[in-house]
């Protein structure tokens, strides 16, 4: 079955709320009224604004110092991916003549030029935050990021020995001359451009030395002068200061060992970013696994899209790199050393609790906590009595979702497990549970999305491991990524078969579940069980006419279902009935959905949007979006949950859905996504409170204005700090009785 089969044939179940647009004259008139051409913010520039918000956290001196260093690393890593995927894709479309004018009205060339100008500005600011603020603050705490010349003789001698033992054997100098063409420069690698000369002839030669990516980015030298990887360091002030030397500095000082008999005249650091997006033409691929493996091989040789150079690079070396790499001058970013500040993650990992957020470990959800016995909670027994709404990382993933699947694997009454895997960790207990279940003779289906960007190779490895254990592994529907987060367990009970389900907003990844804010529903509701059974049958076989009761499923019904509900709120408001709309998402880009929100706002419906990343909506524009408010929350956890809430005056109570879909074209048109309607009134109230807290003027957040500018609001009128939403939720979790953890 193909993606087009799904779009053509998939239908929803019985109507459960909003009517059809056009039934009301006032709504008809509103729908017919044209919207202004300049109503959308540019997607790419909005993403850069999101990364600027990350940078603002690094600039915030009230935050723990090592966390500020972490935000600098996150900013750099985010920007790397943006260039590898978004900028690379835009350049490719321009080159092939496939680029079209953006919804913002900017031409492809205008977007590319605007990206270049904004990225230049942000990257310079990023470097300045490090050199002028974070680095001096680290120095004051005894954490010294230094150059070779800043070290004492004893420290230098120990580093020389370390270089000879641990670094020199790994290095490979590559000369450039008529017999040696300009070498391939791998994406995101840090390199030294070296100029050497032959003393006999005086002739200069160019060479490239790659800084090995598997070695530590910074070499630590403790107070006693012993070099090591930063991960082994505590940077304990009681033991004296610790110095960290960039790996490229250590290599640069010893370049003569790589070119014996030559004179090293100069060296400069540079870094290349390449197009690393993956494209697989599935309709022509007999085996998607093999096609993906070939494409991953091709990815290594994608064209360059950005060249970073040290700002003191010699002009002739810069010109040589530009010419040989085939980049344009506008794609060159000259920055202060050190380049590649993603390496600051090593510094942020230092064991200095006084410079980090207070350690937090999520507790067991109160309904899953066994209070009278040391035995593990019978999760199936709990779900037989009630649904459980999980909020990670405040609710432990290990004692909820992970335990649910582990119990299913071990329970002899469980007959089948069906599971989607989009991203998971390298030592995933989820995968182990699926393997255990298969080896115990249960029917196990794993839908592995091997096109999950930058996790493709890991997912191929897991797919093969699962297959070898007897798990039925499938790769979903041709033409669509399977992004939904679903588990289905079928269990034999005294009164027949019962289905237990998990529908989530985040990946089945125990590591990121401690860092990402996500929601999940554990339930044995028969309607949800029936919906998941039908959807898994559609994903693994041929079931294009599946009908769903509590699910909206992309690409067929998420967009249409949300637009119907938005229009229903618009109609209710026009008729004088209560109406409001509240969303929490990662990104809002889809024009059809945004236009529906604009129509609702024109009618006067209050619309609240909590958007972590990209937002194409322009709130507060007179006559267009005066009733729309947009907030963004960033913090120690990555806000990742998606919530869609409606007043639903036509029903008995507000309607709230959670799920995997963002409001982007890729989610609504090119992915299998699910939203599930929350049934428990207490859970609805809990989610509405989360949305209220997120939008509250008492909560620290960024506010988006009609001019596309994000303004941070983190202090009150008297300068007092506003409440941090994540810290508030951490405090609530810590106040739970100990027996519930």
Which residues are annotated as catalytic? 483
CA distances from 427 to 404, 447, 462, 509, 540 (A): 18, 18, 10, 10, 26
Task: Give the three-state DSSP class for 195.
Answer: strand
What is the spatial distance between Cα 298 and Cα 304, in angstroms, rounded to a whole number? 13
Query: What does DSSP say about strands 655-659 and 607-611: parallel, antiparallel, or unpaired?
Result: unpaired
Tokens of 57: 């956290």
Instruction: Give the DSSP letter string of 95-119.
Output: HHT-----TTS--HHHHHHHHHHHH
Is the backbone of residue 202 left (phi > 0), alpha (psi -120 to 50) or beta?
left
Tokens of 359: 């350690």
Helices (H), strands (E): how many in the chain? 22, 28
Query: What does DSSP say about strands 642-646 and 581-585: parallel, antiparallel, or unpaired?
Result: antiparallel
Q: Which residues contact residue 484 at a Cβ distance below 8 angstroms, ignoring those fewer than 6 apart?
A: 420, 535, 553, 659, 660, 672, 673, 674
Q: Which residues contact residue 539 at a Cβ distance below 8 angstroms, ignoring those fewer than 6 apart?
A: 420, 447, 474, 476, 477, 482, 672
List for the chain the helix, strand, coil content (%; round to 5): 40, 25, 40
Residue pair 125/226 in contact (Cβ under 8 Å)? The answer is: no
Is the backbone of residue 524 left (phi > 0), alpha (psi -120 to 50) or beta?
alpha
Burial (CB < 10 A; 0-12, 13-18, 19+), residue 724, is middle
Using a CB cutoff of 8 Å and minimum separation of 24, what contacts does 377-385 make? 377/403, 378/407, 379/403, 379/404, 379/407, 379/522, 380/407, 380/411, 380/491, 380/500, 380/524, 383/500, 383/522, 383/523, 383/524, 384/498, 384/524
Place of tokens 């989607």: 420
CA distances from 516 to 152, 395, 434 (A): 43, 12, 23
What is the spatial distance between Cα 115 and Cα 109, in angstroms, rounded to a whole number? 10
Residue 17's closest CA among 607, 491, 566? 566
Residue 331's closest CA among 86, 109, 115? 115
What is the spatial distance between Cα 548 and Cα 611, in angstroms, rounded to a whole number? 28
Sheet holding 143-145, edge to edge: 143-145, 242-246, 218-221, 227-228
What is the spatial distance between Cα 733 and Cα 741, in angstroms, rounded to a whole number? 9
Query: What does DSSP say about strands 671-677 and 551-554: parallel, antiparallel, or unpaired?
Result: antiparallel
Cis bond upstream, residue 227 (ω within 30):
no
What is the spatial distance between Cα 228 and Cα 215, in angstroms, rounded to a whole number? 11
What is the spatial distance between Cα 464 and Cα 30, in angstroms, rounded to a whole number? 54
Which residues face 245 on adjacent strands? 219
Characterize 350-375 residue by residue with b for buried, 16 or more Cβ atoms within 10 angstroms of its Cβ, and e for exposed.
bebeebbbeebebbbbebbbeeeeee
Residue pair 173/258 in contact (Cβ under 8 Å)? The answer is: yes
What is the spatial distance between Cα 221 and Cα 608, in angstroms, rounded to a whole number? 51
Cis bond upstream, residue 736 (ω within 30):
no
């Amino acid at each position: 079955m193909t993606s087009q089969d799904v779009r053509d044939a998939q239908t929803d179940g019985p109507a459960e709320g909003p009517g059809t647009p056009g039934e009301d004259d006032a709504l008809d008139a509103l729908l017919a009224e044209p919207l202004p051409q300049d109503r959308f913010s540019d997607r790419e520039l909005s993403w850069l604004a999101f990364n600027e918000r990350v940078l603002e956290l690094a600039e915030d001196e009230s935050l723990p110092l090592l966390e500020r260093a972490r935000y600098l690393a996150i900013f750099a890593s985010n920007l790397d991916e943006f260039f590898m995927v978004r900028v690379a894709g835009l350049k490719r479309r321009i080159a092939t003549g496939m680029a079209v004018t953006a919804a913002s009205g900017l031409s492809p060339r205008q977007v590319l030029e605007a990206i270049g100008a904004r990225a230049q500005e942000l990257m310079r600011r990023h470097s300045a935050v490090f050199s002028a603020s974070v680095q001096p603050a680290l120095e004051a705490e005894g954490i010294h990021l230094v150059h070779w010349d800043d070290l004492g003789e004893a420290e230098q001698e120990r580093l020389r020995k370390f270089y000879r033992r641990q670094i020199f054997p790994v290095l490979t100098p590559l000369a450039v001359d008529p017999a040696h063409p300009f070498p391939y420069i791998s994406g995101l690698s840090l390199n030294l451009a070296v100029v050497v000369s032959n003393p006999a002839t005086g002739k200069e030669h160019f060479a490239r030395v790659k800084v090995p990516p598997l070695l530590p980015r910074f070499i630590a030298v403790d107070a006693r002068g012993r070099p090591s990887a930063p991960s082994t360091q505590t940077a304990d002030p009681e033991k004296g200061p610790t110095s960290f030397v960039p790996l490229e500095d250590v290599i640069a000082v010893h370049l003569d060992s790589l070119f014996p008999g030559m004179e090293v005249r100069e060296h400069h650091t540079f870094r290349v970013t390449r197009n690393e997006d993956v494209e697989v033409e599935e309709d022509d691929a007999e085996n998607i696994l093999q096609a993906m493996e070939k494409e991953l091989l091709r990815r290594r040789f994608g064209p360059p899209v950005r060249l970073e150079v040290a700002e003191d690079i010699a002009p002739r070396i810069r010109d040589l790199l530009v010419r040989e790499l085939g980049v344009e001058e506008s794609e060159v970013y000259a920055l202060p050393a050190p380049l590649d500040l993603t390496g600051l993650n090593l510094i942020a990992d230092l064991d200095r609790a006084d410079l980090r957020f207070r350690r937090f470990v999520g507790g067991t959800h109160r309904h899953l906590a066994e209070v009278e016995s040391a035995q593990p909670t019978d999760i199936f027994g709990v779900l037989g009595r009630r649904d459980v709404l999980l909020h990670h990382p405040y609710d432990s993933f290990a004692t909820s979702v992970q335990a649910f699947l582990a119990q299913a694997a071990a329970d002899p009454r469980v007959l089948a497990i069906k599971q989607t895997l989009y991203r998971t960790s390298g030592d995933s207990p989820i995968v182990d549970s699926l393997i255990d279940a298969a080896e115990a003779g249960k029917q196990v289906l794993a839908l592995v999305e091997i096109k999950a960007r930058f996790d493709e190779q890991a997912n191929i490895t897991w797919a093969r491991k699962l297959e070898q254990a007897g798990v039925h592994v499938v790769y979903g529907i041709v033409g669509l990524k399977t992004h939904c987060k679903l588990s289905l367990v079928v269990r034999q009970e005294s009164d027949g078969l019962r289905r237990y389900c998990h529908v989530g907003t985040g990946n089945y990844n125990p590591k990121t579940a401690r860092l990402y804010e996500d929601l999940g529903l554990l339930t044995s509701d028969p309607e949800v069980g029936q919906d998941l059974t039908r959807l898994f049958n559609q994903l693994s076989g041929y079931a294009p006419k599946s009908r769903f009761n509590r699910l909206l499923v992309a690409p067929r019904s998420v967009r249409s279902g949300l637009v119907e509900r938005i229009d229903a709120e618009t109609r209710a408001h026009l008729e004088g009935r209560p109406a409001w709309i509240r969303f929490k998402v990662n990104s809002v880009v889809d024009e059809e959905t945004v236009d529906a929100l604009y129509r609702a706002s024109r009618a006067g419906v209050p619309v609240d949007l909590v958007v972590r990343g990209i937002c194409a909506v322009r709130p507060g524009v007179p006559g267009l979006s005066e009733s729309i408010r947009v907030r963004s929350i960033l913090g120690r956890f990555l806000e990742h949950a998606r919530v869609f809430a409606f007043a639903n005056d036509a029903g008995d109570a507000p309607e709230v859905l959670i799920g995997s879909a963002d409001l982007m074209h890729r989610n609504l048109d090119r992915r299998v996504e699910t939203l599930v309607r929350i049934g428990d009134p207490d859970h609805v109230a809990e989610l509405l409170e989360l949305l209220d807290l997120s939008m509250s003027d008492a909560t620290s957040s960024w506010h988006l204005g009609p001019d596309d500018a994000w303004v941070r609001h983190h202090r009150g009128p008297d300068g007092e700090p506003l409440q941090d939403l994540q810290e508030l939720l951490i405090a609530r979790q810590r106040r739970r009785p100990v027996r519930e953890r």
